A and B are shown apart, each in its own frame.
Chain A
Amino acid sequence: MCHNCGCSVTGTAGAHHHHDQGSAPAHGHEHEPGQGSRTLHIEADLLAKNNRLAAGNRARFQAAGVAVINLVSSPGAGKTTLLERTLADLGRTLRFAILVGDLQTSRDAERIAASGVPVRQINTGAGCHLDAHQVAHGSEAFDLPRTDILVIENVGNLVCPAGFDLGEDHKVVLLSVAEGEDKPLKYPYMFQAASLLLITKTDLLPYVDFDLECCKAFARQVNPQIEIIEISCRSGAGLPAWYGWLEAGVALKRAPSAKRQE
Chain B
Amino acid sequence: MHELSLTQNLVEIAAEHARAAGAKAILSITLEVGDLSGADPEALTFAFDVCSRGTLAEGASLNIRRVPGQGCCAACAATVACRTPTAVCPACGALAVTCIAGTELRILELEID
Interface residues of A, Cβ cutoff 8 Å to B: 18, 21, 24-25, 27, 30, 33, 36-50, 127-129, 131, 157, 159-160, 162-164, 185, 188-189, 192, 220-224
The answer to whether A42 touches B110, judged by C-beta atoms less than 8 angstroms apart, is yes
- The contact of A47 among B9, B12, B112, by CB within 8 Å, is B9
A38 touches B38 (CB 8 A): no
In contact, B95 and A44 (Cβ under 8 angstroms): no
Q: Is B78 an interface residue (CB 8 A)?
A: no
Chain A proximity mask over B84-113: 1 for CB below 8 Å, otherwise 0: 111110000001100000000111111111
Q: How far is the CA of A43 from the CA of B113 in the complex (A)?
A: 19
A40, B5: Cβ atoms closer than 8 Å = no
Contacts of B76 in A (CB 8 A): none
| Chain B positions within 8 Å of A36 at CB level | 113
Residue pair A42, B17 in contact (C-beta under 8 Å): yes
| Interchain nearest-CB distance for B33 vs A (Å) | 9
Q: Does B56 contact A (CB under 8 A)?
A: no
Number of B residues with CB within 8 Å of any CB on chain A:
34
Given A47-B9, A159-B2, decide whether A42 and B86 contact each other with a Cβ distance below 8 A.
Answer: no
Contact (Cβ within 8 A) A223 B105: no
Task: Determine if A38 and B95 form an interchain contact, defined as CB atoms under 8 angstroms apart.
Answer: no
Assess A188 versus B84: contact at CB under 8 Å? Given A38-B21, A46-B10.
yes
Interface of B is mostly: mixed
The 12 sampled A-B contact pairs (Cβ below 8 Å) are A24-B16, A39-B110, A40-B110, A41-B108, A42-B109, A131-B5, A159-B1, A159-B2, A162-B38, A164-B2, A188-B85, A188-B86
Query: Are the C-beta atoms of B112 and A38 separated by less than 8 Å?
Result: yes
A157 to B9, CA, bound (A): 21
Inter-chain contacts of A40 with B (CB < 8 A): 17-18, 21, 109-112
A-B contact count (CB 8 A): 105
Provide the residues of chain A in CB contact with B5, threshold 8 Å.
127, 129, 131
| Residue in B closest to A24 when the chains form the complex, CB atoms | B20
B13 at the interface (CB under 8 A from A): yes
For the complex, give the distance between the alpha carbons of A164 and B38 in Å. 11
The CA of A188 and the CA of B38, in the complex, are separated in Å by 9
Further contacts, 10 of them, CB under 8 A, given A24-B20, A42-B17, A129-B5 = A37-B113, A40-B109, A45-B106, A159-B38, A163-B38, A188-B86, A189-B85, A221-B95, A222-B86, A224-B87
Q: Is B27 an interface residue (CB 8 A)?
A: yes
Asked whether, in the complex, the Cβ of A43 is within 8 Å of the Cβ of B110, the reply is no
Q: Pick the contact of B87 from A25, A39, A222 — CB < 8 Å? A: A222
Scan residues 22-41 of chain B and give those whose CB is less than 8 A from a CB of chain A. Answer: 23, 27, 37-39
Min CB gap B73→A, angstroms = 12
Question: In whole angstroms, what is the CA distance A246 to B98 when docked?
Answer: 28
B17: chain A residues at CB < 8 Å are 25, 27, 40, 42, 44
Q: How far is the CB of A157 from chain B (nearest CB, A)?
A: 8
For the complex of A and B, list the 5 residue pairs with the smallest distance between their C-beta atoms, beginning with the closest: A160-B2, A128-B1, A188-B85, A224-B95, A40-B110
> What chain B residues lie within 8 Å of A224 (beta carbons)?
87, 95-96
Cβ distance B109 to chain A, nearest Cβ, rounded Å = 5
Bound-state Cα–Cα, A51 to B67, Å: 22
Min CB distance, B76 to chain A, in Å? Answer: 15
